[in-house]
């Protein structure tokens, strides 16, 4: 049986830029276009979006991961095709 420290050491994190499309009332979309962070957060919390578009792990996130974890992954953007998830 794994102890807690073994479970924690098997987990890791990586920063990913995730492309989304907001699907909401025109008025709310236009507020987001104008930089209304409160409305953006509200729409995300209400799940008024779907994943679609450019999604990738930036090379800088891989560089940081390598430094933190003693790994040697290739340090260039890793792109994902995320259509209508």
3-class DSSP assignment, residue 21: strand
Which DSSP category does 70 fall into? T
Parallel, antiparallel, or unpaired: how do β-strands 49-51 and 53-57 relate?
unpaired
C-alpha 28/C-alpha 36 separation (Å) is: 9
- Count CB atoms within 10 A of the CB of residue 20: 16
Predicted confidence pLDDT, tens digits, the chain (85 residues): 445 555 556 899 999 999 999 999 999 999 999 999 999 999 999 999 999 888 999 999 999 999 999 999 999 999 998 775 5
Phi, psi of 8 (to 5 degrees): -65, -40
Q: CA 7, CA 35: separation in Å to the nearest integer?
A: 40
């Amino acid at each position: 049986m794994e102890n807690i420290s073994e479970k924690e050491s098997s987990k890791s994190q990586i920063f990913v830029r995730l492309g989304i499309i907001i699907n909401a009332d025109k008025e709310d979309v236009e507020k987001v276009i104008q930089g209304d962070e409160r409305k953006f957060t509200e729409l995300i919390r209400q799940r008024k979006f779907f994943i679609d578009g450019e999604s990738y792990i930036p090379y800088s996130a891989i560089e940081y991961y390598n430094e933190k974890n003693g790994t040697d992954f290739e340090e260039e953007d890793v792109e994902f095709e995320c259509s209508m998830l």
